[in-house]
Amino acid sequence: MYLVQQLPLNLLGDAMGREWIVRNVASSLFDSLTKGFIRSSREELLLLERKRLTTLGITSYELDPPSGKIVFPAGGSLYQCVDSPLRNGTLFPSELRTGTVGAKLTPEICPSNPDLVAYVSNCDIWLSHEASGTSERLTYAHRGTRNLADDPLSCGTPSYVIQEEFSRYEGFWWQPESKVRWRQVSSVPLTSGDWPVVDEGLWVDSLHSLVYFIGLKESPLERHLYVVSLEAPEQVRLLTHTGSSYTVDINSECNIAVATYSSVNSPPACMVFRISHTDSTVEGVTLTPIGHLVEPQAVLEQPIGFPEIYSHEISSGDVVYAMVFRPHGAVPSVKYPTVLNVYGGPEVQIVTNTFKDMRYLRMHLLASQGYCVVSIDSRGSYNRGVQFESHIKHRMGTVELDDQIEMLVWLSNEIGLIDMSRVAIFGWSYGGYLSLMGIAQYPDVFKVAVAGAPVTNWALYDTGYTERYMDLPNANPQGYKAGSILNYVNQFPNEEGRLLIVHGLVDDNVHFTHTSSLITQLVRKGKPYQLQVYPCERHSLRSLDASKHYETTLLNFLAKHL
């Protein structure tokens, strides 16, 4: 790790990123977490559920670049360590003395005094002073009683809807140090075109009047780093290489960048660049490699089958992308049972030119068992522009499968591996919802359906999400009616073994009421189904036992009925 010796964390700031933290901080703490010596608190588990994080160890951290101080929550407590230019190698954290009981969440270091750390504990905001070990309660919203109805208030933590649907997990902020300045400005677009700029990642170099950002100008499948000048709007320059997709972080001085990059057939690598200039134009920007934090892997230790990406112009004139995991050892002249792994909802993109690692383990598993696995980003999916994404506005559940099926039929002719008489549709959450729609409305296309945690009626889902895309129920009654699977129960197959529903009983995102409402109607209409309930699981299956049981259930169901 020679880079750490050359470039200490307090010089790089946030640009060093999670790679350095994970590799150099608290290996002993991570060992303790994974061995069960430190258990995550209930509050931490709920926060991880909202963030869709399944990893152990350090999942977030707070960094004060000038002092090199790092603070992070783990096991219900706060831990700290300090990096300096004189220190090399692993940093070992110590528990922050707070003198308070209860889980500590979302720590924030004071920008003017790193000895002060604010955090949320027991539904109120606290402030601790590291040197003295004293703590002060700043808010008194929560009385600490057991009855939520009598004691509902909290401070410092956003509401469920804000966390779940708007991805904001902090509910308090330090006032930044700044001098009051006034300047009249005008709004001038810096970019234009039918391609998106990514929300996260925007850096302003005021010295050179340059703005760095992440966008998808070259391809909807790849994220790249670009630069544009405030003095010459719309003159956008690409700084990274096509053929891979990038995530980038840049320090506040805009002279160091850390880039993590991968492709469908190349595992992630991470490189540090120095940003220099020959002048103040976009053409004068140079990224000079300093070294790797994670070296590129020329050959995987255990080779896996990489997915292939396909594109096709469907009948609407839109180009749709698909990803195919071929069955291991596939023979070109043989047709294979196929699993359509569907999501189809807004603000999600599945098909990207990025490495498909542990998050796609199920796809690799199914391919290893002889299935052809297909994922398609139909109209309505993310990072394709407003017109493309608005295709499902006010009509969720009624148009997505047309694109999915058209693309699937084209793929079957293109690659010659798909057995269209043995196609399963499988998905979770919105994908579970479309799986139900698929087996009800297209029973001749889909032989079986596996619906995980499915929405069944938009009137039962949270308004922060639903009304954003479907409008108010009284303003779009036909859309809500057509989008409810409960109105298609008569169309479900009458044969056994064609429908498997999976749901966690304490799901706080898609409540189990969705599944129970559907089952009530299935029973009333005499429609067969198979139900697998996990009593202690939420929207995601987090326990190892439940995950193993589910994978086994899924494989057995497909082997028996597909």
Burial classification of residue 179, based on how many CB atoms lie within 10 Å of its CB (0-12 exposed, 13-18 middle, 19 or more buried): exposed
Q: Are 143 and 127 in contact (CB under 8 A)?
A: no
- Percentage helix, strand, coil for the chain under 3-state DSSP, each rounded to 5: 25, 25, 45
Q: How far is CA 186 from CA 137, 211, 230, in A?
A: 43, 16, 12
Q: Measured between alpha carbons, how far is 186 from 503 in angstroms, rounded to an integer? A: 51
End-to-end Cα separation, the chain, in angstroms: 50
Q: Are 397 and 482 in contact (CB under 8 A)?
A: yes
Sheet holding 197-205, edge to edge: 197-205, 210-215, 224-229, 236-238
Catalytic residue, candidates 429, 435, 484, 540: 429
User: For helices 400-415 and 430-441, what crossing angle results, to 10°?
Assistant: 80
* 508 belongs to the catalytic site: no
Q: Compute the radius of gyration of the chain from its Cα atoms.
A: 26
551 - beta bridge partners? none
Specify the DSSP class assigned to residue 305. Answer: P
308 - beta bridge partners? 324
Q: Measured between alpha carbons, how far is 207 from 210 in angstroms, rounded to an integer? A: 8
* 507 belongs to the catalytic site: yes
The per-residue b/e assignment along 388-404, b for 16 or more CB within 10 angstroms, e otherwise, is bbebbbbbbbebbbbbb
531 - beta bridge partners? 501
Catalytic residue, candidates 205, 262, 507, 561: 507
* 429 belongs to the catalytic site: yes
269 - beta bridge partners? 261
Catalytic residue, candidates 208, 224, 391, 539: 539
Q: Which residues contact 243 (CB under 8 A, 6 or more apart)?
A: 222, 263, 353
Sheet holding 104-109, edge to edge: 104-109, 116-121, 124-129, 134-137
Q: Measured between alpha carbons, how far is 210 from 280 in angstroms, rounded to an integer? A: 8
Q: Which residues contact 374 (CB under 8 A, 6 or more apart)?
A: 322, 323, 324, 325, 338, 339, 340, 341, 408, 411, 418
SS (H, E, C) 510-526: CCCHHHHHHHHHHHHHC
Active-site positions?
Answer: 429, 507, 539
